[in-house]
C-alpha cells in the first residue's frame, strides 16, 4: 500500500519548525530560538539563525579570580531568559510629548521596517541609534534588555551601541544606591550578558561595566572582587597602566580582607600574583612587582609560567636598582647572571 507523502515544501517547513524548538544542552550552553517577524513581511524560517547563550555570556575573558569550583561562569546563566522583542519593548517605554523619545520612535519605525524587509542597515545606524536612546527617557535596565534582542536580530555593533548608552545611564542612576540593594539584582544579571563588548573590543565600556558591578554587588562578595580584577584587565588593555595597577592592588586588598582567597580554588592566589606582577611592572612599579612574581614562583603550579616569573622577578629587581638581589635569584634558579650594562638596559617583558 502506498502512503501519501506531504509536498516537499511542507516537509521542509516541518523540519525547520522542529529545529526551531529543539533545545540542545552541551557544555552548559542552552540553545534557544527567538524571532518575531512582521506579519506583513514574514521572515523565512531558513534565514533565522540559532541563538546561543554563549552570544551573551563571555566565559574565557571573564574567567578571573576568585574562582569557584563547580562552574563559576555557569552560575550566572541560571538567571538567563530569552530576550524580548526589542522594537515593541522600547516603543512601550516612550513618553508622548518627549522630543528625544519621539526621535527614538521614528528610528524604531524605520529600523523595524528595514529588519522586516531584509534591508541592510546603514553603517552609521548603530551609532545614531545609540545616541538617540542615550538622550531618551528610557531607563538602563530596559536598554540592556533591548540590546540583547537587537544583538540577536541585528548584530553586535548595534547591541554594543545600546549597551554603552545603558551603562552611562546606569552609572548615573545607581551612584547613590547601596551595594547589595535588591533593586540592583536585575541590572546585575543583565550586565553579565553584555559579553558582546569583548567581541567589539570596547574596553572603555567594559571597565565602566566592571566598576559599576563592583559597587552594586555586596561588599567583599566573590562577584564584587572578581569585577575589580576584570576592571584592572580592561584598564590595562586601554594602556591605563597606573589605573590598572591601582585596581589590581585594590582587588588584592579586598581579597585579603575577605580571607577566603585560595580556599575557594587553589588557582586563586597564583593567578592574582601573576596579574599583580604584570600590571605593576607595566606601570613601572618594579619594586612592588617583585613581591608578586616571587610569590608566584612559590605558589604557582604552571611550570612554564613559573620559569617566566623567575625571569621577570629578576628583571624587576634590576629595574628597581637591586642588582645584587637580581643575580642571587638568577643564581638560585640557574639563570645567566647579568652585567651592570645589561642590567641598565633590561626591562621586563610583560605578557
- Give CA–CA dist 207/211, Å, rounded: 6
Which segments of the chain have a pLDDT < 70?
1-52, 69-72, 339-351
What does the pLDDT read at residue 230? 98
Q: For residue 50, what are the domain limits?
A: 20-218
Residue 122 near residue 161 (C-beta atoms within 8 A): no
* pLDDT tens, residue by residue, 261-276: 998 889 999 999 999 9
Distances (CA, A) of 172 to 169, 236, 244: 5, 24, 23
pLDDT at 154: 95
Q: What interhelical angle do 222-237 and 203-216 show, nearest 10?
A: 160
Asked whether residue 206 is domain-assigned, the answer is: yes
In a domain? residue 258: no
Inside any domain, residue 347: no
Question: For the chain, how many structural domains are there in total?
Answer: 1
> What was the pLDDT predicted at 255?
96
pLDDT of residue 277: 98
Q: Is residue 98 part of a domain?
A: yes
The model carries a pTM of 0.81
What are the tens digits of pLDDT across the range 288-317? Answer: 999 999 999 999 999 999 999 999 999 999
Would 88 be classed as within a structural domain? yes
Domain membership of residue 135 (yes or no) is yes
Compute the distance between CA of residue 83 and CA of residue 52 in angstroms, rounded to an integer: 12
Interatomic CA distance for residues 150 and 128, integer angstroms: 14
At residue 342, the pLDDT reads: 52
CA 172 to mean position of chain CA atoms: 20
- 185 assigned to some structural domain: yes
Amino acid at each position: 500500500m502506498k502512503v501519501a507523502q506531504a509536498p516537499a515544501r511542507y516537509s521542509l517547513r516541518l523540519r525547520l519548525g522542529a529545529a526551531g524548538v529543539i533545545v540542545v544542552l552541551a557544555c552548559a550552553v542552552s540553545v534557544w530560538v527567538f524571532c518575531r517577524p512582521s506579519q506583513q513581511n514574514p521572515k523565512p524560517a531558513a534565514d533565522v539563525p540559532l541563538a546561543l547563550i554563549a552570544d551573551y555570556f563571555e566565559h574565557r575573558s571573564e574567567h578571573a579570580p576568585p574562582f569557584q569550583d563547580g562552574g563559576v561562569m555557569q552560575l550566572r546563566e541560571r538567571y538567563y531568559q530569552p530576550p524580548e522583542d526589542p522594537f515593541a519593548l522600547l516603543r512601550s517605554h516612550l513618553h508622548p510629548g518627549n522630543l528625544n523619545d519621539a526621535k527614538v520612535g521614528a528610528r524604531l519605525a524605520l529600523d523595524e521596517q528595514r529588519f522586516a524587509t531584509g534591508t541592510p542597515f546603514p553603517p552609521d545606524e548603530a551609532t545614531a541609534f545609540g545616541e538617540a536612546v542615550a538622550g531618551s527617557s528610557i531607563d538602563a535596565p530596559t536598554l540592556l534588555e533591548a540590546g540583547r534582542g537587537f544583538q540577536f536580530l541585528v548584530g553586535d555593533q548595534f547591541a554594543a551601541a545600546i549597551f554603552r548608552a545603558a551603562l552611562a545611564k546606569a552609572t548615573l542612576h545607581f551612584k547613590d544606591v547601596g551595594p547589595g540593594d535588591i533593586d540592583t539584582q536585575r541590572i546585575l544579571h543583565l550586565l553579565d550578558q553584555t559579553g558582546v563588548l569583548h567581541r567589539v573590543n570596547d574596553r572603555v565600556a567594559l571597565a565602566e561595566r566592571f566598576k559599576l558591578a563592583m559597587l552594586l554587588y555586596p561588599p567583599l562578595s566573590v562577584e564584587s572582587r572578581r569585577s575589580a580584577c576584570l576592571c584592572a584587565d580592561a584598564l590595562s588593555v586601554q594602556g591605563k597602566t597606573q589605573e590598572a595597577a591601582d585596581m589590581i592592588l585594590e582587588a588584592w586588598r579586598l581579597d585579603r580582607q575577605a580571607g577566603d582567597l585560595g580556599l575557594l580554588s587553589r588557582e586563586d592566589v597564583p593567578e592574582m600574583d601573576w596579574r599583580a606582577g604584570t600590571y605593576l611592572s607595566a606601570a613601572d612599579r618594579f619594586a612592588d612587582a617583585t613581591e608578586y612574581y616571587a610569590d608566584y614562583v612559590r605558589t604557582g603550579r604552571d611550570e612554564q609560567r613559573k620559569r617566566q616569573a623567575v625571569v621577570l622577578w629578576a628583571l624587576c629587581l634590576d629595574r628597581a636598582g637591586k642588582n645584587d638581589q637580581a643575580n642571587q635569584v638568577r643564581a638560585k634558579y640557574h639563570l645567566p647572571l647579568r652585567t651592570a650594562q645589561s642590567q641598565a638596559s633590561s626591562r621586563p617583558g610583560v605578557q
